[in-house]
Structure 1
């Protein structure tokens, strides 16, 4: 188990180094490619509920995807995690503009407050598949 942790740590450091070496123009290009491919995918086109993370500066930027979700009349869910926990809920976002009103976490990520007023994706939607064989096709 220690060897696996060490390998994962080394891989994370290498990925962080590679991302830091990318130019802003290359990061924008990759964001556009990923966004276009996702939005064109038939599974995205046919679903009504989308869960998406709010991006940090060194990640694929998700603002365009979130705006597209709302333009198409789909429901959008974003992560809310609990400090010092592995637990994460996906809670409903009411609009793309509402993101700017969300409080910042210690990681400088906007997320809904834990006041319990937001709809949570897994309690209001269709049940998730029970096995990987029943899961989504992520090709």
Structure 2
């Protein structure tokens, strides 16, 4: 294995700074949007997702549970269950880059989830009864 190219750490630091600046700009833009506009954009996106051919063809959907300043995913989740599809949500491992996609049994199942220190709802660490989306999966995966 070759040593990192000269300036690699400088490039990494510049990339981290650019990411920080982009995130700060996005946070500023999101705060500037009113609640009605956020809801309108969420409805538009939900409709685009649920009308997309790949979504229509899919039997198993992985989706995040939205935070207040994010696109709201509740309409999509409700449609997943209404259409009889399987719904998977992330469970993040603390101090790790690892994430499992675990199955929800219903939209109401969301109320049984644990709130993390990041204010994210997810299945608890000791919840081992849920199906993991990729465990033994022979399914073909699409990205929208």
Work out which of the residue numbers 113, 126, 134 in structure 2 matches 1:122: 134
Please, which of 42, 46, 52 is the counterpart of residue 57 of structure 2?
46
Query: Are residues 137 and 59 of structure 1, via their aligned partners in 2, closer, same or farther at CA, if it must alter by over 3 Å?
Result: closer
User: Match for residue 9 of structure 2?
Assistant: none
Quote the residue 2:8 is aligned against: none
The residue that corresponds to 1:25 in the other structure is: 36
In 2: Cα distance, 1:23 partner to 1:137 partner: 30
2:40 is paired with a residue of what secondary structure? helix
TM-score, length-normalised on structure 1?
A: 0.90
Q: Does 1:61 align with 2:72?
A: yes
1:67 and 1:24, CA in 2 relative to 1: closer, same or farther beyond 3 A? same
CA RMSD of superposed structures (Å): 1.4
What does the per-residue CA deviation read over 1:89-135, in whole Å, with 9 as the maximum and x for residues that have no partner? 00000000110111111111110012222100011433567xxxxxx
How many aligned positions are there? 132
CA 1:75–1:127: 2 relative to 1, 3 Å: closer
Name which one, 1 or 2, has greater alpha-carbon Rg.
Answer: 2
TM-score normalised according to structure 2 size: 0.87
- Unaligned ranges ≥5, structure 1: 130-135
Question: Once superposed, which parts of structure 1, at least 4 consecutive aligned residues long, lie more than 4 Å away?
Answer: none
